[in-house]
Amino acid sequence: MKYKNIYSAIHNFGDSFVSFTNYVDEGFVVDDLNAIHNQGRDIEIDWLTKTFEPSPLATNRIKKSIDFFHKDLERFLQAQSVDVTKLTALRFHWPAWKARYMEATDDRGKRYKIFVQALK
């Protein structure tokens, strides 16, 4: 486990989630997220529990994508020498009218926050 790699690992994970390669059911997941965000709503995904907020606005595309990314989370982080079991929190945040970011906390209590892809 390389704690110093957590920043880059969560950045890459978050970038992948909001990128145009995240295409599910003939549409981009980021378009569904943008539609929610443009309503002035905060968006949060807890990657350890697969929880999406605001849950009533989660489209099937968003739910499928979260399932897919969650199933691949351990492998994705391990490829960057980060052990998911050493993380006590891992979340994607997109506050209303602000930039999106990933946030993690490790088993030592250290918090990591890094912004992902600029708003389109």
**Sign of torsion over alpha carbons 29, 34, 39, 45:** positive
46 within 8 A of 30, measured Cβ to Cβ? no
Q: What is the pLDDT of residues 20-48, one digit of tens each?
A: 999 999 999 999 999 999 999 999 999 99
The size of the chain, in residues, is 120
Closest to 44 in 3D by CA, of 100, 11, 92: 92
Q: What is the pLDDT of residues 50-103, one digit of tens each?
A: 999 999 999 999 999 999 999 999 999 999 999 999 999 999 999 998 999 999
Mean pLDDT, the chain, as a whole number? 95
Q: What total number of domains does the chain contain?
A: 1
Q: Is residue 53 part of a domain?
A: yes
Q: Is residue 84 part of a domain?
A: yes
Q: Is residue 120 part of a domain?
A: no
- Domain limits at 37? 3-115
